[in-house]
Copies of this chain bind each other. A is one copy, B any other.
Amino acid sequence: MEKINSLQNAHVKAWKKLQTKKGRKQQGQYLLDGWHLVNEAVKAHVAIQTLLITAKQLATEPDLTHFPAVIEISDEVAKHISATVTPQGVFALATLPAAIEDLSQLDLTRPWLLLDNVQDPGNIGTMVRTADAAGFAGVAFGTGTVDIHQPKVERAMQGSQFHLQLISTDLDKLVDQLQAQGSPVYGSELNPQAARYLDIDAPASFGLIMGNEGNGMSRELLARTDQNLYIPIKGQAESLNVAVAAGVLMFGLYR
């Protein structure tokens, strides 16, 4: 088995660059960090090129038959290429999927969650997990939203990234596609024209847009929605966490 111990190694430098969008695009790969994600990826038949593993993890005698190549790395290398402070010591190099350009390929028979300029990887991961649990068909990462394959986003999705369709797209195009087939698109911005979410009888297919943590949805996108929804606030809280609001709306609309 090949062993790599030095931070000066050219492979290590390349793996480190997978933390950036530019690096992932140039190398056509992304990094999955930790056994849970790696195992979920294997189950989902994700194309994994190489497993990187520390001696300590090798000592647990894991089943390595799923991986075309395995490289042993030092603890120092593991720490260097991970986005977490205390990595488990196992990583998969997965092939970056081709971007879906033709949105008519998407499953639009069930709802979609649209993320408009959402910034926090934890919130994004939680929303993807919740969309998975609520039976949504997919999640669209709009321009300005953190990248799907950013390591912290990948970790926060906890495997749900392999259960539904995830796309990066100009959200305008997906709104076009949904509305063209008669599926309504709902916004989530508190304004005088908004309807109480419980009063909506949503069809089997719709789009739900969640906006930026501080500033909400973009004006342009809001203007294109069929209906804007609000969650009635009874207490004195100024707002809900965006992932909690998304959960209440997803489960409330799609029962």
Contact = CB atoms under 8 A, between A and B. Distances in A.
Nearest to A133: B237
Contact of A240 (B133, B198, B233, B238): B133
A9 interface: no
Interface string A82-102: 000000000000000000000
A39 to B, nearest CB: 12
Interface stretch (A51-59, A71-79, A168-176, A247-255): A247-255
Contacts of A198: 255
Contacts of A244: 126, 129-130, 243-244, 246-247
Contact of A235 (B136, B233, B234, B245): B136
What number of copies of this chain does the assembly contain?
2
Contacts of A216: none
A251 B231 contact: yes
Contacts of A255: 198
A202 to B, nearest CB: 14
A160 interface: yes
A250 to B, nearest CB: 8
Interface residues of A, number: 35
A163 B238 CA distance: 11
Given A244-B126, A244-B243, A132 B163 contact: no
A241 interface: yes
A23 interface: no
Nearest to A136: B235
A7 interface: no
Nearest to A197: B251
Contact of A134 (B158, B164, B235): B235
Contacts of A236: 132, 160, 163
A159 B237 CA distance: 8
A34 interface: no
Given A133-B233, A135-B234, 12 more contacts: A129-B240, A130-B244, A158-B238, A160-B235, A163-B236, A164-B235, A231-B251, A245-B247, A248-B248, A248-B251, A251-B252, A252-B252
